[in-house]
Structure 1
Amino acid sequence: MDLSIRIIQESDEYQVIIEGDGVTRILKARSINELMSSLNNEIRDLLTTRESSDTLRSSTCTLRGWYIRLPVAKLLEIVTFLVRNRQGDDTENLMKYLDSHGLSRSNYRVIIPTLSALGLWKQGRITREAEELGKAVIDGAQELPNILYRIATRNCALKEVIDRLAEGLSINDAIKLLGLTRRDEINYTSNLLEIIMSSDEFKCLQYSKTLENYLKSGGCFIALEPPRNCVLNQVITVFNYLMNSKGFYMMSILSDVDVTINLNLVSTQLSDEHALIIQGGKPVGALIGDVITTNNNYAPRAREAVDRLEPIATRIIKANNLLFSMIVVPIVIGDECPKVKAYVMVGNKMGDWIARVFDLP
């Protein structure tokens, strides 16, 4: 294992950046004794467990520990400067930024740990994520909140907070999970989270968690319409629920079009704007769909959606030589207590189709 440990002292506090084996950890300590104890624990953990090679590499987050001492606007300004001036040494370019803005070079002591905690700085250089973020700022891209969402969810501490926010926890309560005590850190983190919560990525996560909770517990389904780029996620969630909870009825409609599959071996795999239905490692079907919000007279809207999707489903069957296609349309019925139904239509490669409506959960 190749570890890089950097210790930066800022007034009465130490910041520690540990990099190596695919993970970055950010520590804070207020005394040498606390610093040595934290280092001892972290290094023992890395050397004596399989966490670094197994758990962390398989996880969607690879950054441990949260640190922020910069306003988000200043953070974006610094990253943009470094991307614009991406020639030579990035550390020296950071010093040029500080000099050109009349700032003390000692400010690097809070800039480097903040960038590292977001995966924007590693081993003395800005990362690919920093380049993407800087270019988005330069281009004035609408995607900036989504990019910040993806960057933030690589930090395990922030990812947990974002998950809890999507479940309905307030920003103030969610931030308490990070154990922040300094007012500036709390304010900067709040600002970052507010930007992230405006992203389509977060709204998609929020909708997914609301739907998953509804499918588990029932009750009233309270959710906004999902962003277009995450409709398929919701279709897959409902498909998995139907396969696991209403398997007998799903097998029945599949057999009506002469399709036999083992529900216990079925999984899905995203492929462009549809999902492949996999059995035993082999694609056997395709899954597409849409989410519609309507009233109790849902049939016309559902039929319109299915009529629009059927030619696409037929084309996917032929293009991929599949046994069948399945169209799943979750229908949110707005009322005092909104409910969800699922319009399911299955067709085989011979052109035979059959449909059924399911009450959910």
Structure 2
Amino acid sequence: MDLSIKIIQESDEYQVIIEGDGVTRILKAKSINELINSLSTEVRDLLTIRENDDTLKSSPCTLRGWYIRLPVAKLLDIIAFLIRNRQGDDMEGIMKYLDSHGLSRSNYRVIIPTLSALGLWKQGKLTREAEELGKAVINGGQELPNLLYKIAIRNCVLKEVIERLAEGLPINEAIKLLGLTRRDEINYTSNLLEIITGSDEFKCLQYSKALGNYLRSGGCFAVIDLPKGCVLNQIVTIFNYLVSNKGFHLMSLLSDVDITINLSLINTQPSNDYALIIQGGKPIGALVGDIITTNNNYAPRARETVDKLEPMATKVIKANNLMFSIIIVPIVIVDECPRIKVYVMVGNKMGDWIARVFDLP
């Protein structure tokens, strides 16, 4: 195992960046003794994790610890400067930025750990994610919220905070999970999270959390706007729910169009704007759908949506030589206690279709 350890002293505090086996850890220490103890603990943890490759590979995040000592706008400005004026050594680029803005070169002591905590700096240079972020800033920044979301969830502690925000915890409460004490870090983190919560990626997560909670517990559905790009994920979630909880009725629909499959052996594989239904490693069906939000008079809107999806479902069957296609249209009915019904239509390659409406959960 190769470990890289960088220690940066800023006034009365030490920042430590440990890189090894795809994992970056950020530490802060107030004294040499605390620094030594923290280093010992972190290195031991890394070596313990290394002994179990499955644990390391299955970890959804690769950045441990949180550090931010720069406003988000300043951080983005620095990255854009480095990308725009890149001529080799990124560390020298940081020094040129500081010089050109009349700032002390000692500011690198807060810049490097902040970049590292977001996975934007590794082994002495900007990462690929930093390059993408810098180009987005230069080009106008429309994708910045989504990029920052994807960057932030690679940090384990930020990922937990973002998950809790998606569950409805206010930002000021979620930040307490980080254990921050410095006012500047609290403010800068709040600003970052405010940007992230405005992203489509976060709204997708928020919707997924709300849907999952509704399918588990029922009650009233928390109606929120759903970005078009994550509709398929919700369709797959509802399909999996139907397979697990209403499998008998789903099998009945399939048998009515002469389709016999083993629901316990299937899985789904996203493919552009639909998902393939796989059994035994072979695509046998397709899953298409859309989500509508309406009132109690949902039938006309649901039928209209299904009519629009049917040609696509038929085309997917023919293009992939499949046995069948399933159209799923979740219907979010908005009233005093919003609830969800789902319109399910199953068709075979002969053009036979049958439909049913299910109550969820």
TM-score when scaled to structure 2? 0.98
Q: Which moved more, 1:220-229 or 1:114-123?
A: 220-229
Q: Distance in 2 between matches of 1:85 and 1:57?
A: 36
Is there any run of 5+ residues in structure 2 with no aligned partner, and where? none
Deviation at 1:330, TM superposition (A): 0.4
Q: Distance in 1 between matches of 2:228 and 2:131?
A: 27
Instruction: Give the aligned partner of residue 271 of structure 1.
Output: 271
Instruction: Give the aligned partner of residue 98 of structure 1.
Output: 98
> Moved runs in structure 1, 4+ residues, more than 6 A?
none
Instruction: Give the aligned partner of residue 161 of structure 1.
Output: 161
Instruction: Give the aligned partner of residue 126 of structure 2.
Output: 126
Deviation at 1:53, TM superposition (A): 3.2
Is there any run of 5+ residues in structure 1 with no aligned partner, and where? none
Question: C-alpha offsets along residues 19-54 of structure 1, whole Å, 9 cap, x if unaligned?
Answer: 110111111111111111111111111113347733
Contact 2:67–2:113 under 8 Å retained in 1: yes
Which secondary structure does the structure 2 equivalent of 1:180 belong to? coil
Answering whether residue 38 of structure 2 is matched by residue 35 of structure 1, we say no
Q: Distance in 1 between matches of 2:51 and 2:233?
A: 29
Question: C-alpha offsets along residues 260-312 of structure 1, whole Å, 9 cap, x if unaligned?
Answer: 11111111111111111111222111111000011111110000110000000
Contact 2:223–2:338 under 8 Å retained in 1: no
Question: C-alpha offsets along residues 105-135 of structure 1, whole Å, 9 cap, x if unaligned?
Answer: 1100000000000011000010110111111
Q: Distance in 2 between matches of 1:21 and 1:285?
A: 40
Which secondary structure does the structure 1 equivalent of 2:178 belong to? coil
Contact 2:49–2:55 under 8 Å retained in 1: no
Deviation at 1:251, TM superposition (A): 0.8
Instruction: Give the aligned partner of residue 215 of structure 1.
Output: 215
Instruction: Give the aligned partner of residue 191 of structure 2.
Output: 191
Which secondary structure does the structure 2 equivalent of 1:8 belong to? strand
* Mapping 1:9-48, distance limit 5 Å: 9-48=9-48
Instruction: Give the aligned partner of residue 345 of structure 1.
Output: 345
* Mapping 1:192-341, distance limit 5 Å: 192-341=192-341
AA aligned to 1:90 is D
AA aligned to 1:136 is A
Q: Distance in 2 between matches of 1:34 and 1:277?
A: 54
AA aligned to 2:192 is L
Q: Distance in 2 between matches of 1:191 and 1:147?
A: 15
TM-score when scaled to structure 1? 0.98
User: How many percent of aligned residue pairs carry the same amino acid?
Assistant: 80
Q: Distance in 1 between matches of 2:52 and 2:72?
A: 30
Q: Distance in 2 between matches of 1:37 and 1:323?
A: 62
Instruction: Give the aligned partner of residue 152 of structure 1.
Output: 152
AA aligned to 1:198 is G
Q: Distance in 1 between matches of 2:303 and 2:45?
A: 56
Contact 1:21–1:52 under 8 Å retained in 2: no
Q: Distance in 2 between matches of 1:358 and 1:270?
A: 23
Which secondary structure does the structure 2 equivalent of 1:297 belong to? coil
Give the direction of change, closer, same or farther, for the CA distance of 1:51–1:333 in structure 2 (3 Å limit). Answer: farther
Q: Distance in 2 between matches of 1:90 and 1:303?
A: 57
AA aligned to 2:194 is E
Contact 2:332–2:338 under 8 Å retained in 1: yes
Question: C-alpha offsets along residues 200-252 of structure 1, whole Å, 9 cap, x if unaligned?
Answer: 11011101100110000000112223111111111111111111111111111
Which secondary structure does the structure 2 equivalent of 1:177 belong to? helix
Deviation at 1:90, TM superposition (A): 0.5
Deviation at 1:57, TM superposition (A): 2.6
